[in-house]
Amino acid sequence: MLSTVPPTLFDSDAGPAGAPPGYAGGDHILYSVFRVGATPVFLAYPPCTSNGADCEVAEVLVHTGPTTPPSSLGKASSFAEGADGQSLWLIRRDAPDSCRLQHVRLTGTEIGHSQPAACTTGVREDTKHGLLITINSGQAEHTDALIDPGTGRTIQQAPEILTVVGDYMLLGGLVDLTLVNLRDGSRKQLRGPSAGHYPAMAASRDDAMLAVDFADPAWHQTSIQVRDVWLLKLPSLEWLHAPGMPYTTENLNSGGLSWNEDGDVVLLDGVFAAWHPGEPTWRLSRAKVTSKEALSYVLLD
């Protein structure tokens, strides 16, 4: 599914295959989409006004099927998939300066009790080791933390936590990356294989590998955009370069990386491309994604 306005069901070979009902269209809305377990969840953002405050809050819409309207979970300013694949962590804004952290099932039922939270908190990933958040998200001075969401206790904190995959946490750095073993606290330095400055990451569904796009929106300080996709094998820390990389593109602001149930890395960049680690080339879809509105996508298993 593509996060067009309104969202589109898309067949990689045949192209657009319809739009589910109940999603608003027009110029007054913008969508993004992510997976919670096997369920697509859309975020519907209103247009921004001069102060930008209204576009910081999105309506959370749970996709219910190709022929039925979505179910609304109300509005929130930050969102993360629950580790159980059946729930969401949300930052609810009850007033301009009053927010809370809430854990809800996709049905809308609250799990436990809401906790007070700073309105600048960004929730990112729910893991078996805790909830990954950004403190002062969107601010010049911010930091990342892995917390116990029940008590608010900080488990790990660092200036830049890129992701948590299984028992491992990957930290960013000016030159090197650092892999932290969350079971025993050990650390290993890891040199990034590419000069790209803005790594986008997607963990395989078994948490055995991490696909990393070392994107560079201004290659050598020019207007050229570059993608450079690598795989990091865990815990061996072996880098595997995807075939055909790096390459120039005009689509860094849309598409991106994911994994399918067959263990293929999937990349949307004008077309869908799938690559199984070890294969010599990417397999390309027949249909092109021409809409610039498709800022994100999810795969339907």
**Is residue 162 domain-shared with residue 89, that is, in the same domain?**
yes
Backbone angles phi, psi at 241, to 5 degrees: -85, 125
- The string of DSSP letters for 190-249 reads EE-SS--SEEEEEE-TTSSEEEEEEEBTTGGGSS-EEE-EEEEETTTTEEEEPTT-SEEE
**Is residue 92 domain-shared with residue 185, that is, in the same domain?**
yes
**Is residue 217 domain-shared with residue 142, that is, in the same domain?**
no
Q: What is the CATH number of the domain that holds 210?
A: 2.40.10
Which of 191, 218, 248 is the last residue in one of the domains? 191
**Is residue 130 domain-shared with residue 158, that is, in the same domain?**
yes
**Is residue 199 domain-shared with residue 275, that is, in the same domain?**
yes
Task: Kindly state the tokens that stand for 74.
Answer: 């109300």
CA dist., res. 138 & res. 142, Å (int) = 8
**Is residue 1 domain-shared with residue 66, that is, in the same domain?**
yes
Task: Please report the pLDDT score of residue 253 as a whole number.
Answer: 80
CB 285 within 8 A of CB 12: yes
Domain count, the chain: 3
CB 79 within 8 A of CB 102: no
Task: Please report the pLDDT score of residue 30 as a whole number.
Answer: 87
Which of 45, 76, 107 is the last residue in one of the domains? 76
**Is residue 202 domain-shared with residue 295, that is, in the same domain?**
yes
Please give the chain's pLDDT, 301 residues, in tens.
999 999 999 999 999 999 999 999 888 888 999 999 999 999 999 876 655 555 679 999 999 999 999 999 999 999 999 999 999 999 999 998 999 999 999 999 999 999 999 999 999 999 999 999 999 998 989 999 999 998 899 999 999 999 999 999 999 887 789 999 999 999 999 888 887 766 889 999 999 999 999 988 888 889 999 999 999 999 889 999 999 999 999 888 888 899 999 999 999 999 999 999 999 999 999 999 987 778 899 999 7
Task: Please report the pLDDT score of residue 52 as a whole number.
Answer: 53
Beta strand 143-147 with 154-158 is antiparallel
**Is residue 68 domain-shared with residue 171, that is, in the same domain?**
no
Backbone angles phi, psi at 56, to 5 degrees: -85, -10
Which of 142, 169, 191 is the last residue in one of the domains? 191
Range of the structural domain that residue 61 is part of:
1-76
**Is residue 138 domain-shared with residue 175, that is, in the same domain?**
yes
